[in-house]
Chain A
Amino acid sequence: MERALAAVLRITALSGAAVGVPARQDRNTRADKMFEVWLSAVEHHTPGRLDEAAASIATWSRRDLTAALDRVKRDRLETDPNPANRILIRAAFLHADIAVLHRTARGYTLPSDDASTLVAKDGRQLGRGGRTVHWDMGRKALDAVLPDPAREDRVRLWYQTTAAILQYWDEFAELEPHLARARQLFPRDAALLVVAGTMHEYYAESVFQNFMADLPGGGGQARRSLGVGSTSDELTQAESLFRRALETDPDRSEARIRLAHVLGREARHAEAAAELRQVLSTPLSPLLKHYGLLFLGREEQALGRPISAREAFEGAAALYPDAQSPRLALSELAHDAGDRVRARELLPAPGAATKEDSDPWRRFHRMHEQSVDELMAAFRRIPS
C-alpha cells in the first residue's frame, strides 16, 4: 500500500511542477491539497466504516471529486498502470461505502447531486429526490482502470455487489445506469443478467405500470429516463435476460424460477410449468422451492388442473406456514370446487396479525440467491 501511495504522490508532484502564473498557482495549490485529501481518504479508509477518511470527502461536489479522479487518470504512469489501478479500485469501493453508509430509509444523508429522481411508494409519487454523486464516481473510477476494467475480477465483484444492493433498496434511478455500464463490461455475467432481468420483471408489475400511467402524459418522459417500457416490452426483456443467464449458467435456479414467472405472466402457462418442474427436480433452498411451488400452483390452475395446483400450493404453504399467498390460492381453489367452508377456513384468521415478512411473495421482486448482508460482507473482504 505504501508503495502505491508513494507512486501516486509522485504523480501528484510531477503534475504540480507544471504550474505557472500566481492565480493558476493558487488554484493548483487548492487542487493539490484536495487531491491529497482525496488520496489519503482512498488509502486510509477501512471498508464498511464511516471513518474519518470517508467523512473527509463524503460531502464533496461532483466537480471536486471528478477533479481528483481526473488527476489520477492524467498523471498515471502509462508504462505501469498498476499503482493507479489500485487507487482507482480502492476509490470505487470508498465511494460505494460512502453511499451505503449514508443511506437511510428516507434516502441519502448527503448533498443531492440533482433532483431528478421520482420518489414513489404504493404506486404513487411522493415527490422528487436527489441522487448521490458517489455511485457515479465509483463507476467513473473503475472506467479508468487500464488496460480494460472488464479484465479485473474486483471490478466485476464491485458491480455484482453494488447492483444487488441497489436492487434490494428499490433504487431504480441508480440501478438503471449502474446495470447499463455493468452489462457493457460483463455482457455474459449471469449474476448481473439476473439482476437486470429481475429489474425488468418488476418494471412489468402493476406497481410500476400504474405509477407510470398516472404520471402526466402517461409518464412518457419518466419512462424514457428510467427506461421503463410497457408491460409486454418489460416481460420480453426480462425473459431474454433470464434466458441469457441460463445459457451462461444453466444451474442458476433463481433465473429459471423467474423465467417461469415471466412466462406465466405472458400466458405461456405450459412452458412456465415445464420450467418449474425442471427446477423443482433439483436441490433448492426452502425459499426458492417455495417460489417454485407457488408459481407451479398458479400455472397448474391456469392450465385447468386444480388437483395439481392444490398439491403445489400445499407444498408451498408447508414450507412457509404463515405465508398468506399460498393459503389464499388454496382458498380460491376450494371455493371454485364448491367447498365454501374450506375456502373460508383458509382465509386469514380473524384478528390475527399478518406479518408482511412471513410471506416470501411480498419480497419476490428482490433477488434471493444471496442476501445483501452476505454480499456486503464479501464486498468488504475484497483484497486491495
Chain B
Amino acid sequence: MTRNNLLVPCVTCLTSVVVSAQTFTSRVESVRVDVLVSDERGPVLGLQASDFEIDDAGVPQQVDLIAFEQVPLSVVLALDTSDSVAGEALERLRDAGRMAVEALKAGDQAGLVTFATTVSVRAPLTADAARLRLALAQPVETGNTALVDATYTALALAASDTARPLAVVFSDGADTASFLVPDAVLATARRSDTVVYAVRTNQRSPVRFLDDITALTGGRVLTIDSSGKLGTALLAIFDEFRHRYVISYRPRGVSRDGWHPLRVRVKNRRVTIRARPGYQAGS
C-alpha cells in the first residue's frame, strides 16, 4: 500500500478548522487526510500546504490546512491475548504496552483493548499513564481470536475530533471468533478517519482483513518474528505516525454522497505517499 502519489483522506475536521459535531455522513464540511510522505532517506519534513495537491473524485481541491506534530494523538492499542498468546508471550505483550505508554507525549490520549473470544475495553481514551499501566497489568481473557470485533472496537474508540486517531492492532493469528463481518467493518473504515496499523508475529497465511483495513485507512501491516519485538514495532509506528501530515480541505464540486476516491500528490518531488485511497460520505 505504499505507492507514489497515492492519497488519503479522512472525513472530518480538526477543531481549529470547522465543524464540531461529527455528522459527516450527511454533510461533509471538511475532509481531513492523514498523509505520510517519504523518500529513500525516510519521512520528508517541512512541507507546506502549497506543496500538496489533492483530487477528490477527480476534482482538484484547495488545501486549507496542514498540521504536523502539533496535533496530539488519539491512539488505541488492541492486543490479542488469545490462547496462542500465553505465558511469556503475554508478558512481552504487556512490556510492549508499557513502552507505548511511555512514548505518549503531552496532549496525547491512549486507550487499551484486549481481545480473545470476546473484546474488553481495558481503558477508554485517557491521558492518565498510570491508569493505562494499571489496565495493562490486569488479568486478560483467553480463548479464540475475535480480531474483526476488536479492530472495529479500536477504530471506533480512537475516533476523535481534536486529535489524530490511530488504532494499532496486534495479533498473531487470524480471526476465529468475531460476529462482525469483515466487509461491514471495512465499510465502516471507509467512513472513519481512524488510521489502522497492524502488527503480526507469525509468518503463516496473511490475514486479508488486516491487509485490507490498513490499506483502506492509510496504515500498514508490520510483521515481526516474535512478540518480544512488539515494543520496538509500536515505537516505530508512533514515530512514523507523528511524522505524517494532516491536510484538510473543504470539498468543492463533488457529490455529498458515495465513495470519493482521493489522490494526493506533492508538487515537484519524487516521494512516496501513504494515505487512504478514498472516503465514504453520505448514504
Contact = CB atoms under 8 A, between A and B. Distances in A.
A361 B185 CA distance: 18
20 contacts: A122-B144, A123-B145, A206-B176, A207-B176, A210-B176, A210-B205, A328-B119, A328-B179, A331-B152, A332-B152, A332-B184, A335-B159, A336-B188, A337-B25, A343-B159, A348-B119, A350-B124, A352-B121, A354-B118, A356-B118
B177 A335 contact: no
A8 to B, nearest CB: 49
Main secondary structure of the interface of B (DSSP, over half): loop
B117 A338 contact: no
Given A122-B144, A344-B159, A347-B157, A302 B205 contact: no
A18 interface: no
B26 interface: yes
Given A122-B173, A124-B84, A348-B119, A332 B180 contact: yes
A26 interface: no
A356 B118 CA distance: 6
Contact of A362 (B117, B153, B157, B188): B117
B145 A122 contact: yes
A214 B143 contact: no
The 7 closest A-B pairs by CB, nearest first: A325-B179, A338-B25, A207-B176, A354-B118, A210-B174, A122-B83, A123-B176
Contact of B177 (A207, A338, A349): A207
A75 interface: no
Contact of A351 (B23, B122, B157, B173): B122
A121 interface: yes
Contacts of A359: 118
Interface in B185-240: 185, 187-188, 191-192, 204-205
Nearest to A355: B118
A329 B180 contact: yes
Interface of A: 121-124, 205-207, 210, 213-214, 294, 298, 301-302, 324-325, 328-329, 331-332, 335-338, 340, 343-344, 347-356, 359, 361-362
B120 interface: yes
A122 to B, nearest CB: 4
Contact of B153 (A121, A123, A302, A348): A348
Given A206-B175, A213-B205, A340-B22, 11 more contacts: A122-B82, A122-B143, A122-B145, A122-B173, A123-B176, A324-B118, A331-B152, A350-B124, A351-B135, A356-B117, A356-B118
Contacts of B25: 336-338
Nearest to A124: B84
A207 B83 CA distance: 13
B100 to A, nearest CB: 18
Contact of A338 (B22, B143, B145): B22
B53 interface: no
Given A122-B143, A352-B120, A329 B179 contact: yes
B122 A338 contact: no
A348 to B, nearest CB: 5
A65 B125 CA distance: 63
B123 interface: yes
Contacts of A294: 179
A42 to B, nearest CB: 40
Contacts of A340: 22, 156, 159
A348 B149 CA distance: 11
Contact of A336 (B117, B181, B187): B187
Nearest to A304: B283
B141 interface: yes
B153 A122 contact: no
B28 to A, nearest CB: 10
